[in-house]
């Protein structure tokens, strides 16, 4: 992965000047512990632990100001060769979101039926899942009633785009949490490309959809799932 270089890194400041300003030498500053990066009570770390994939939302709309704030946070993600390949296609009208939800569900159902018994079993499981998180009086909603849907795209030929988009999406979801919003990533958002209404997103070739993000004010507080802890290996501890 490529790394961007901040121009400020090229600036130099004599040790003597730093000594005058802060009252102790340069080495003392450089060797001081970085508490903010390791303290679990810091806002950034707390935000990571507080984020959940939320699948129930209120109908409260999200302002364009907030939408643009969280997308700006996405733009700050690392990106190979600083190409920033991502683009964002946003739905905010309830009628449009419902239309795309129905179209994606229809497309997924067709694909699963073609898989035979295994696909039909997946389809049945998905239907139960939608009923659990949805409203029995309404049609299934793949977007869980979220008032904002963000489709993130990148060019098909970009070999690192999937990584760039994933990091961008995580930034957006963490920014949303920091601003009082909730989110849920949807890999099945890619299926929108195979719907009959895909053209309505006005996504030009050769861009492709990598995922969709549901954004809104959550109407549930999911508990964290247990995390696997036996997946860390210090390679050097094993010797040559």
Q: Tens digit of pLDDT for each residue in 63-100?
A: 999 999 999 999 999 999 999 999 999 999 999 999 99
- Is 194 a residue whose pLDDT tops 70? yes
Percent of residues, the chain, with pLDDT higher than 90: 66
Contact 147, 105 (CB under 8 A): no
Residue 122 pLDDT? 53
| Separation of alpha carbons 214 and 107, rounded Å | 19
- CA distance between the termini of the chain: 28
pLDDT computed for residue 115 by the predictor: 60
pLDDT (average), residues 158-173: 97
What gap in Å lies between CA 222 and CA 184, rounded to an integer?
Answer: 12
Per-residue confidence at 139, pLDDT binned at 50, 70, 90?
low
When pLDDT is averaged across residues 116-144 and rounded to a whole number, the result is 60
- Look at the pTM and tell me if it is higher than 0.85: no
Average pLDDT over residues 104-115: 76
Q: How far apart are CA 125 and CA 20, in angstroms?
A: 68
Cα distances (angstroms) measured from residue 210 to each of 71, 133, 147, 153, 207:
16, 24, 20, 6, 9
How many angstroms separate the most distant Cα atoms in the chain? 75
CA distance 123 to 96: 24
The residue among 34 and 181 whose pLDDT is bigger is 181
The answer to whether residue 5 scores a pLDDT higher than 50 is no
pLDDT score of 136: 41
């Amino acid at each position: 992965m490529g790394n961007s270089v901040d121009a400020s890194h090229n600036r130099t400041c004599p040790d003597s000047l730093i000594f005058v300003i802060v009252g102790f030498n340069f080495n003392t500053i450089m060797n001081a512990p970085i508490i903010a990066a390791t303290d679990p009570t810091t806002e950034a770390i707390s935000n990571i632990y507080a984020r959940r994939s939320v699948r129930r939302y209120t109908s409260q709309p999200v302002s364009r100001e907030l939408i643009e704030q969280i997308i700006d946070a996405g733009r700050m993600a690392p990106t190979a060769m600083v190409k920033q390949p991502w683009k964002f296609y946003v739905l905010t009208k309830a009628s449009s979101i419902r239309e795309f939800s129905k179209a994606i569900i229809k497309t997924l159902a067709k694909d699963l039926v073609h898989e035979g018994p295994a696909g039909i079993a997946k389809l049945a499981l998905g239907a139960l899942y939608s009923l659990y998180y949805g409203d029995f009086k309404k049609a299934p909603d793949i977007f869980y009633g979220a008032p904002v849907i963000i489709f993130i795209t990148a060019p098909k030929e970009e070999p690192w785009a999937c990584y760039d988009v994933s990091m961008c999406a995580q930034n957006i979801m963490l920014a949303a949490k920091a601003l009082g919003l909730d989110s849920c990533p949807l890999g099945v958002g890619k299926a929108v490309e195979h719907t009959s209404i895909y053209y309505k997103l006005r996504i030009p070739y050769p861009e492709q959809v990598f995922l969709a993000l549901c954004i809104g004010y959550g109407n549930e507080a999911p508990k964290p799932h247990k995390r696997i802890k036996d997946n860390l290996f210090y390679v050097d501890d094993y010797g040559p």
